[in-house]
A and B are shown apart, each in its own frame.
Chain A
Amino acid sequence: MKKRMLSLVLAGVMTAAMLTGCGGSAGTDAGSTDGAAQESSDAAGETEAAEETPGEEAASDETAAEDGAAGDSAGGTFKIGGIGPLTGSYAVYGIAAMNGSQIAVDEINAAGGINGMTVELNFQDDETDSEKSVNAYNALKDWGVQVIDGCVTSACSIAVSAKTVEDNIFQLTPSGSAVECVANPNAFRVCFSDPNQGVASAQYIGEHGLATKVAVIYDSSDVYSSGIYEKFVAEAESQPFEIVTAGAFTADNKTDFSVQLQQAKDAGADLVFLPIYYNEAAMILKQASDMSFDVKFFGCDGLDGILGVKNFDASLTEGVMLLTPFAADATDDLTVKFVTTYKEKFNETPNQFAADGYDAIYTIKAAAEKAGITADMSNEEICAAMQTAMTEITVDGLTGEGITWDASGEPTKEPKAVVIKDGVYTAM
C-alpha cells in the first residue's frame, strides 16, 4: 500500500513536471523578460557577473525592445527567433551574432520597423549541440516565431533546418557554412560556404603568387575546418603551388602544435594555411615564433578576432593574411557606424559573426519588404513569399556589397582579403 502511494506520488511528480513544462511555455515570454531584467539589475552589484556584460545588456535590450513593441504595435509585430551558442566554448560566436542582430533590430525599430511592423528578436541558447538546438527552436515556436535567424553553427543549422522545412518557417543562417545548411528550399545563408572559402583561398594564393610550398594545419574534428581543407586541397591541384604537409589536430588536443609546425618547417613551407578558428591560430603563431619559424600565414574568416585574444602578443600577427568578408577597421560609413554602436553597447570590437548577424536581420528586412509581409500572415505564407523574394533582392551589407541569392540559398559576394599591418586589418 505504502509502495503504491509512493509510486502514485512519483508518477504525479513526473506528470507534474511535464505539466509545469507546458504551463511554463505560455508564460515564457513574459517570464523571460521580467527575469532577465531583474537579474541584470541584480547582477550589477556582483563584480564577477559584471564581466559578462554583453549578454546581459543584450538581455535588457531585448526587454526594452519588447516593451517598446507592446507600446506601439500599430502594424503588429514581426517575431524573429535567433539560435546560437550563448554558453560553452563557442559562446563567442553566438553572443556576437546575437549582439549584431540586436543592433540591426534596434536600428530598424527606430526607423519605423518592417512594413510598419515592430521587430522582436528572441535569441535562444543551443550550447552548440544539435539536440539543444532543436529544443531552442521548439521554444521559439511556442513563442510564436515567424522567421528563424540561425543557427550560428553548421551542425545545429542542419538539424534545425530539417525541422523548419517541416513547419514551413523561413530560415536564414548568418554563419552556418556547411553545404547542407541550405539544402532545404526554405533555408538561406549570409556567409560563404566552406567549399567556397577553400576554393577562394587556393585561388587567391595561386593568383597572387604568395607561395610555392604550402603547409596546412587544420582541425579534423571540426566541420568548418575540414570542409575548407578538402576543397582547398582539391583546388590546389590546378594552382601553381604544392601542398607539402597537412597536419591535423582535434578538439581534444589543441594546445600543442609543435609537431605540425616542425613538419611544415622541415618540408620547407613558405606559407602556412590555417583554415581554423582564431584561438588555436593564436597559439600556432606563438609557437611558430618560439621555434623561430619565419613563415607567412594565411587564414579564412575563422581567424577574424585574432587581434582580440587575451594574453596574446598581437604583434605576432603582423603580416598574417586572411580572407574575411568583414574587417572592423574598414572606413566605409556602414562599418564605421556599426563598429561605433557595437563598441558603445558591448565594449568590444565586433567580429565577423556580429557582422553576419547584423546583415542577416537586414536581409530578412529586405526580403520581407519585397514580399510585402504583414503581421497577420501565416508562417506558410511568409515562408513561401520570403523564398521568392530572397532571389530578387540585393543587399549592401557589412559583409559584402550587392549580395544576391539564388534559389539554392547560396549568397553571391566577393571575398575580401586583408593583411594585418601595424595591428589593424589593411585591404590587400
Chain B
Amino acid sequence: MDMEMKVNKSKLSKTTKNDLITYGMVILTYIVVQLLVSTGHVSSLIQGLLVPFCTYVIVAVALNLTVGILGELSLGHAGFMCVGAFASAVFSLAFKDAMPSGLRFFLALLIGAAAAALVGFLVGIPVLRLRGDYLAIVTLAFGEIIKNIINVLYLGVDSRGVHFSMKDAISLHLEEDGVMLIKGAQGVTGTPNDSNFTVGVILILVTLFIVLNFIHSRTGRAVMSIRDNRIAAESVGINVTKYKLIAFTVSASLAGVAGVLYAHNLSTLNALPKNFGYNMSIMILVFVVLGGIGNIRGSIIAAVLLTLLPEVLRGLSDYRMLIYSIVLIAMMIFNWSPNAVFLRKRLRQKFLPGRKVEKEEA
C-alpha cells in the first residue's frame, strides 16, 4: 500500500503537485482560521475582513488570468466586479422573500457571473482583434462608463412589471407597493447578507479549479502560445481572437463572482470611485503584479496581505496611508528590483547551502 502510494505520488506531474499545493494552502488556511474563530482567538476586525479577503483573492486570480496567462492588460476588472455585484444584488433584492437563501445566493452567483461574462464578451469582441494595448484603454473606459451608468440608473418593480429610468426616481411612476431596486447614486440598499467565509473559500477553490485547469488545458496552452508569440501561434493555425476571447470572458465572469460576494457582504451597494472605480482596478492589478504576473499562488497571498495591511495599521491613525504606500514601494523593490533579486539569491545560497538557486515560480 505504502509503496503504491509512493509510486502514485512520484507519477504526479510537477504541475499537478504545484496545483495541489495551492489548493492545500487555501484549505489549510481555512481550517486554521475556522479553528481560531471557534476558539475565540480572532478579533472582530479580522472576522469582518474574511469575506473581503475572499472577494479580492478571487478577483486577483481572475485578473491574473488576463494579465499573466493571456498577456493583455485589463484596467477594468473593478467594472466587471461592479456588473456582477449589481446584477446579483438586484436579483437577490427582488426575490428576497421568494426563495430560500441558499438557492437564491446560488442563482445570484450564476447571474452575476453570467452578466459579467456577457459584458466581458461584448467588450472583448472588437478589442481583442487588435494588437497593442487597446484592451487596457477600452477596459479603463468601460469601468468608468459602467460606474456612471449605474449612478444614474433607477430601477423599480411593481405589479405592472419592471420600470427603469435614467433621469430620476420620480419618472418611474411606481405604484404605492412598488419596490425600488436601484436608486441611482444611492445604489442598492437592503441586499440580503448571504456571503460568509465558508462560501468565500468554496468560491476561491472553484475559481482556482477553473483557472488552474484552464491554464493546463489545450485551450490554455493555445492562449499562452498567443501570449508568447502571436505570429508563431497563428502560423500553426490557432484562432487568436477566439482563444483570447475565451480567456478574457472567463476572467471577466470570475471577477463577476467576486462582485457577487462583495454585494452580499454589505447591506448597501454603491458604485463609488472608491470601490468600483479606476483606483480599485489598479489595486487589483497591484495584487497581481506584487504577487508575480502569472503566479496564481502569489496573487492570493498578495491580495490577502494588501487587504489586511491598511486595517492592521489602524493603530497608527493619520500615518496609516503613508506607511501603507511605503510598504507597497518596499515590497515592489524587494520583489522586482534586480539588485534585490540578486541579494535574495545570495542570501539563500548562504543560509541554505547545498540547494540550487530556486527557479522562478511558474
Contact = CB atoms under 8 A, between A and B. Distances in A.
Interface of A: 2-4, 6-7, 10-11, 13-15, 17-22, 24-26, 28, 31-32, 35-36, 39, 52, 55-56, 59, 86-88, 124-125, 127-131, 134-139, 141-142, 154-155, 158-159, 161-162, 178, 180, 219-223, 225-227, 229-230, 233-234, 248, 250-252
B189 A180 contact: yes
Range of interface residues on B (Cβ < 8 Å): 35 or more
B215 interface: no
Given A52-B318, A134-B266, A22 B274 contact: no
A175 B320 CA distance: 25
A423 to B, nearest CB: 32
A3 B186 contact: no
Given A35-B316, A233-B170, A131 B273 contact: no
B170 A11 contact: no
Interface stretch (B36-44, B58-66, B217-225): B36-44
User: What are the nearest 7 A-B pairs in CB distance?
Assistant: A25-B43, A162-B267, A138-B48, A32-B315, A138-B44, A7-B21, A141-B44
Contacts of B3: none
Interface of B: 17-18, 21-22, 24-25, 28-29, 32-33, 36, 41-49, 52, 144, 148, 151-152, 168-170, 184-187, 189-190, 193, 262, 265-270, 272-275, 297, 301, 304-305, 308, 311-312, 314-321, 355, 358, 361
Contact of B312 (A21, A87, A128): A21
Nearest to B50: A18
12 contacts: A3-B17, A3-B21, A4-B21, A7-B24, A17-B304, A19-B36, A130-B275, A131-B52, A155-B272, A178-B186, A180-B189, A233-B168
Of the candidates B18, B49, B184, B268, the one having the most CB atoms from chain A within 10 angstroms of its own CB is: B268
Nearest to A233: B170
Contacts of A56: 318
B318 to A, nearest CB: 5
B315 A28 contact: yes
B272 A129 contact: yes
Contacts of A234: 170
A21 B318 contact: no
Nearest to B278: A252
Nearest to B318: A55
Given A159-B268, A178-B186, A39 B28 contact: no
Contacts of B301: 10, 13-14
A40 B17 CA distance: 51
Contact of B29 (A14, A222, A252): A14
Nearest to B186: A223
Contacts of A162: 193, 266-268
A36 B297 CA distance: 36
A131 B49 CA distance: 9
Contacts of B316: 32, 35-36, 39
A171 B361 CA distance: 49
B46 A25 contact: yes
A139 B312 CA distance: 9
Nearest to B41: A22
Contacts of B358: 2, 6
Contacts of A137: 48
A216 to B, nearest CB: 11
User: Interface SS of chain A: helix, strand, loop or mixed?
Assistant: helix
B267 to A, nearest CB: 4
B315 A35 contact: yes
A141 B46 CA distance: 11
A379 to B, nearest CB: 12
Contact of A18 (B46, B152, B315): B46
Nearest to A7: B21
Contacts of A227: 186
A21 B355 contact: no
A9 B39 CA distance: 24
Given A2-B358, A162-B267, 18 more contacts: A7-B22, A15-B32, A15-B33, A21-B45, A22-B36, A22-B42, A35-B315, A39-B317, A56-B318, A86-B317, A136-B314, A138-B44, A138-B45, A155-B270, A155-B272, A220-B151, A221-B151, A230-B169
B64 to A, nearest CB: 16
A65 to B, nearest CB: 14
Contacts of B170: 230, 233-234
B144 A252 contact: yes
Contacts of A225: 185
A19 B358 CA distance: 28
Contact of A128 (B45, B151, B274): B274
Contact of A226 (B47, B144, B168, B262): B168
A334 B318 CA distance: 30
Contact of B314 (A22, A28, A134, A154): A28
Given A25-B43, A141-B44, A159-B267, A20 B312 contact: yes
B227 to A, nearest CB: 24
A20 B313 CA distance: 11
Contacts of B315: 24, 28, 31-32, 35
B268 A158 contact: yes
Contact of B186 (A6, A139, A226, A248): A226
A257 B18 CA distance: 57
B29 A11 contact: yes
B311 A21 contact: yes
Nearest to A25: B43
A14 B304 contact: yes
A180 B266 CA distance: 14
Contacts of A86: 317-318
B42 A252 contact: no
Nearest to A154: B186
A87 B259 CA distance: 25
Of the candidates A6, A25, A233, the one having the most CB atoms from chain B within 10 angstroms of its own CB is: A25
Given A21-B311, A139-B45, A15 B189 contact: no
Contacts of A125: 314, 317, 320
A130 B266 contact: yes
B313 to A, nearest CB: 9
A127 B311 contact: no
A420 to B, nearest CB: 28
Given A22-B46, A220-B151, A35 B317 contact: yes
Contact of B272 (A2, A7, A128, A226): A128
B161 to A, nearest CB: 22
A86 B317 CA distance: 9
Nearest to B280: A129
